[in-house]
Amino acid sequence: MNRTSVTKQEFKEAIFENIKKQYRKTIDQATEEQVFQAVAYAVKEIIIDQWIETHKTYEEQDAKTVYYLSMEFLMGRALGNNLINLEVNTMVKEVLAELGFDLNAIEDQEPDAGTGNGGLGRLAACFLDSLATLEYPAYGCGIRYRYGIFEQKIVDGYQVERPDEWLKNGNPFEVRRSEYGMEVKFGGNVRVVKDELGQERRVHENYQSVRAIPYDLPIVGYDNNTVNTLRLWDAEAVQSFDLGSFDRGDYQKAVEQQNLAKTIVEVLYPNDNHYQGKELRLKQQYFFISATVQQVVKKFKQKHGDISLLPEKVVFHINDTHPSLTIPELMRVLMDDEGLAWGEAWAIVKKTCGYTNHTIMSEALEKWPIELFSRLLPRIYQIIEEINRRFCAEIVDKFGSDNERLRRMAILADGQVKMAWLCIAGSHSVNGVARLHTDILINEELKDFYALYPKKFNNKTNGITQRRFLLHGNPLLADWVTRKVGDGWITDLPQIKGIAPLADDPKAQKEFMQIKYENKVRLAQYIKKHNGIDVDPRSIFDVQVKRLHEYKRQLMDVLHVMHLYNELRDNPDMDMMPRTFIFGAKAAPGYRRAKLVIKLINNVAQVVNNDPNINNKLKVVFIENYRVSNAEIIFAAADVSEQISTASKEASGTGNMKFMLNGAVTIGTLDGANIEIAEEVGSENCFIFGMTATEVLQLQREKSYNPWDIYNNNQAVRRVVTQLINGFYAPENPELFREIYDSLLNGGGEPADQYFILKDFDAYAQAHREVDLAYRNQTKWARMAMLNTASAGKFSSDRTIEEYAKEIWKLEKVHVEMDM
């Protein structure tokens, strides 16, 4: 089937055929899940010819290709997005309606591909969408986790994790490519042997291995015939099980390899912004990197023969340090398999690799114990030793022998392998993800490295895809924007600026606010269905959705809710715009304090929502299992976007951009991309409060901050903090939230109130009062909201990807023609 010519009748018949073949049923007997599968396969048929044509075109034009390497791709659902990008959404919607089905309900049958944790994984997914839409040859390369990010249940206010069985019913869009399998080797030892010519050769022996099998997923560009590939590697045992032919030793090994294969791709590690030094995690990293690098080199050699030309045709992008083994693995392949000398190989590696840093949180920095690393990856470790030796020599060359500096910068130090340092040494480009973040890297975290390689450092402010987060997630607003300024914004988001003049037009304001209202009704229905809570769509929807982390300060948000509730109890007639505070967040299963904050939010919700005396002025909702699919509904319905991380801690944030695009007004700190958001929309159209990054970094250095001073002098703060331990929100167990109380006032191991929640509290409460005042004036509010949407142009991942492509990857666009 061809996307531009497929008729409704043909598509309908494809659905009937699929249901018949797969389920031995007719459409009237099929379940919604079966209809979803049938539709997805029919869509795949449209995709497949373009997919083949895209790769044929790349092959013919011998185009330079980026391999975006990432442990996470948080894709969400594919069907709706594919329909939109293929521009067959309306046709399919009509076909389904004629068959008595609602497209939304069918889309709801698809499980999210939860193969990522949070912002880092979602960014990778947005990048793939932009790469395909902008016609850049690209692969995403990652792992086909059997279980993605856990499913969150809230039981008695607590987070409970359930396995995410996203592949249970199969994945209709994927294609298994067993012919591209690769062997990946672990453990063992490396022996040096001399060949007949006296040349040294390295032999890896006594290793265990697995076979990596790629599963390809189509990444459909918007309205352009391009279909790129997300290649997710699965693991299988190398030997097939033929017990009879094994002697004892082989049998043992076969069983071990079977187990290794099974465990390696079993589950995504559920930590966000936190490193967990587990051996299995390192295995996962090497597994998909080795498979990818070997396969890319093999393909390149088949076409070009001369490996020295690799950097002209291939670029590997390392998404945070998780894929950093690309650097030593490519060295290994170039030297041990291709016979290159060190110098040649190193020059190729540096030209081919680029690295993005996504955090300055020290607990997120990967540092592997040398003991573990060298045992699991002996040859890779040897190579890193040599990289480190030469790197240290370079430092001495440039700065003289300064031991303190060497200790700070060495890749191997303190018994650890410092992965970020390896990335900086082995890449030609190092970038941060928002201007402030890059400045902090250059001036603080990585200043030694900046002094060594100033030219490598650059900024690429993050972005999001407007195709998913406006066109698909908010069809009412998308249609409205298109009616006003045409549909150019779909592939050129700055065109959305065209609605700015309407921000003062009363009729347009009314339309805009009516759409927001309808989206709030949609979310209210979702909340009623999933939480059983009634919320008033006329109240202000104030939303904080993101992973739970102390630095993101969900705690400050809920403490402020507690404060408002105190005020309302003192004065139920208080003049206040009704507010609904909406939270959504998964906490890493091992992050006790984060899970306790979830419990606190739920207990506060319980008390507040059931108090008849506050005239429904305050509601609190915790949305269970926050993920890409419900995020789309949430962003569309938000009035206020909470972006309140401690300044300097959030590298960029990307949720902030999705809210802005959907006409929510930011209440936020001068952190990450909030700074650039405020710059674009104007400080009068957002609510900025609190300490700046410079102030935070200064106060951290001084170590002079004492939260007790605030506690003693600020009655509102003292009252809410005391409510953490007086049983107000936990009558059965007044000690329940003691840990949170202690973290704010006493620290214990870490500095008290290390994220400056009490310090920023007053400023935050003040900003909220301003929100309340602004919302009363609906004309003013409509204007602000509209200007937020109008000013979101910069934050398209299309802009980000253009910058990467031009400045780091040096890619050319390749247009795919389909002969009809």
Q: Which of 124, 720 has the CB closer to ligand NTF?
A: 124
Sort strands 182-186 and 314-319 into parallel, antiparallel or unpaired.
unpaired
Distance of closest approach, residue 657 Cβ to ligand NTF, in angstroms: 9
Report, as residue numbers or ranges, the catalytic residues.
358, 546-547, 552, 654, 658
Distance of closest approach, residue 459 Cβ to ligand NTF, in angstroms: 12
Looking at 164, 216, 366, 650, which residue binds ligand NTF (CB under 6 A)? Answer: 650
Pick out residues in 771-800 that bind ligand NTF (CB under 6 A). none
Q: Which of 462, 788 has the CB closer to ligand NTF?
A: 462
Q: Which of 54, 648 has the CB closer to ligand NTF?
A: 648
| Beta bridge partners of residue 459, listed in sequence order | 432
Looking at 119, 142, 218, 663, which residue binds ligand NTF (CB under 6 A)? Answer: 119
Distance of closest approach, residue 182 Cβ to ligand NTF, in angstroms: 26
Handedness of CA 688, 693, 698, 699 (dihedral sign): positive
Longest Cα separation, the chain: 93
Chain centre to alpha carbon of residue 267: 17
Q: Which of 332, 552 has the CB closer to ligand NTF?
A: 552
Stretch that binds ligand NTF, among 40-48, 115-123, 453-461, 807-815 (CB under 6 A): 115-123
What is the rounded CA–CA span in Å between residue 820 and residue 257? 48
Looking at 452, 651, 681, 724, which residue binds ligand NTF (CB under 6 A)? Answer: 651
Which residue, 538, 552, 529, 556, is CA-closest to 623? 529
Pair of tokens at residue 716: 């509102």
- DSSP SS3 for 68: strand
User: Which residue carries 């390497």 as its tokens?
Assistant: 69
Sort strands 640-643 and 665-668 into parallel, antiparallel or unpaired.
parallel
Stretch that binds ligand NTF, among 339-347, 626-634, 651-659, 701-709 (CB under 6 A): 651-659
On whether the CB atoms of residues 459 and 438 are closer than 8 A, the answer is yes
Buried b (16+ CB within 10 A) or exposed e, 53-85: bbeebbeeeebbbbbbbbbbbbbbbbbbbbbbb
Q: Which of 378, 653 has the CB closer to ligand NTF?
A: 653
Q: Which of 124, 210 has the CB closer to ligand NTF?
A: 124
What is the rounded CA–CA span in Å between residue 676 and residue 171? 39
Stretch that binds ligand NTF, among 89-97, 119-127, 135-143, 508-516 (CB under 6 A): 119-127
What is the rounded CA–CA span in Å between residue 512 and residue 514? 5
Would you count residue 672 as binding ligand NTF (CB under 6 A)? Answer: yes
Distance of closest approach, residue 277 Cβ to ligand NTF, in angstroms: 15
**Sheet of 412-413: strands edge to edge?**
367-369, 416-418, 412-413
Q: Which of 64, 547 has the CB closer to ligand NTF?
A: 547
Pick out residues in 479-518 that bind ligand NTF (CB under 6 A). none
Q: Which of 110, 129 has the CB closer to ligand NTF?
A: 129
Q: Which of 214, 584 has the CB closer to ligand NTF?
A: 584
Alpha carbons within 13 A on the beta-carbon side of 349:
28
Handedness of CA 671, 673, 675, 678 (dihedral sign): negative
Would you count residue 367 as binding ligand NTF (CB under 6 A)? Answer: no
The site string for ligand NTF over 408-447 (x = CB under 6 A, - otherwise) reads -------------------------x--------------
Pick out residues in 327-346 that bind ligand NTF (CB under 6 A). none
What is the rounded CA–CA span in Å between residue 768 and residue 581? 12
Distance of closest approach, residue 322 Cβ to ligand NTF, in angstroms: 8
Alpha carbon of 544 to those of 375, 547, 548, 639: distances in Å?
Answer: 43, 10, 10, 11
- DSSP classification of residue 111: P
Looking at 462, 474, 646, 685, which residue binds ligand NTF (CB under 6 A)? Answer: 462
Looking at 653, 663, 690, 793, which residue binds ligand NTF (CB under 6 A)? Answer: 653
Q: Which of 427, 603 has the CB closer to ligand NTF?
A: 427
- DSSP SS3 for 185: strand
Stretch that binds ligand NTF, among 118-126, 481-489, 625-633, 725-733 (CB under 6 A): 118-126
Which residue, 173, 143, 180, is CA-closest to 77? 173
On whether the CB atoms of residues 798 and 493 are closer than 8 A, the answer is yes
Distance of closest approach, residue 671 Cβ to ligand NTF, in angstroms: 9
Distance of closest approach, residue 622 Cβ to ligand NTF, in angstroms: 22
Looking at 431, 603, 654, 662, which residue binds ligand NTF (CB under 6 A)? Answer: 654
Task: Compute how many other C-beta atoms are within 10 angstroms of the C-beta atom of residue 805.
Answer: 21
Q: Which of 148, 653 has the CB closer to ligand NTF?
A: 653
Handedness of CA 200, 206, 208, 209 (dihedral sign): positive
Distance of closest approach, residue 552 Cβ to ligand NTF, in angstroms: 9
| Beta bridge partners of residue 211, listed in sequence order | 183, 236
On whether the CB atoms of residues 423 and 350 are closer than 8 A, the answer is no
Per-residue 3-state assignment (H helix, E strand, C coil) for 23-52: HCCCHHHCCHHHHHHHHHHHHHHHHHHHHH
Distance of closest approach, residue 275 Cβ to ligand NTF, in angstroms: 8
Pick out residues in 242-281 that bind ligand NTF (CB under 6 A). 272-273
Task: Compute how many other C-beta atoms are within 10 angstroms of the C-beta atom of residue 217.
Answer: 21
Stretch that binds ligand NTF, among 8-16, 164-172, 596-604, 652-660 (CB under 6 A): 652-660
What is the rounded CA–CA span in Å between residue 819 and residue 797? 30
Distance of closest approach, residue 72 Cβ to ligand NTF, in angstroms: 8
CB within 8 A of 353, min separation 6: which ones? 315, 316, 317, 318, 326, 327, 330, 423, 426, 427, 428
What is the rounded CA–CA span in Å between residue 281 and residue 340? 30
Pair of tokens at residue 794: 């910069």
Chain centre to alpha carbon of residue 599: 25
Would you count residue 358 as binding ligand NTF (CB under 6 A)? Answer: yes
Looking at 364, 424, 452, 811, which residue binds ligand NTF (CB under 6 A)? Answer: 364
How many residues bind to ligand NTF according to rule CB under 6 A?
Answer: 18
What is the rounded CA–CA span in Å between residue 184 and residue 157? 44
Stretch that binds ligand NTF, among 513-521, 583-591, 646-654, 711-719 (CB under 6 A): 646-654
Stretch that binds ligand NTF, among 254-262, 382-390, 644-652, 737-745 (CB under 6 A): 644-652
Pick out residues in 282-321 that bind ligand NTF (CB under 6 A). 320
Distance of closest approach, residue 652 Cβ to ligand NTF, in angstroms: 4
Q: Which of 423, 720 has the CB closer to ligand NTF?
A: 423
On whether the CB atoms of residues 64 and 312 are closer than 8 A, the answer is yes
Distance of closest approach, residue 790 Cβ to ligand NTF, in angstroms: 23
Q: Which spans of this chain sit near ligand NTF (rule: CB under 6 A)?
A: 118-120, 123, 272-273, 320, 358-359, 364, 433, 462, 650-654, 672
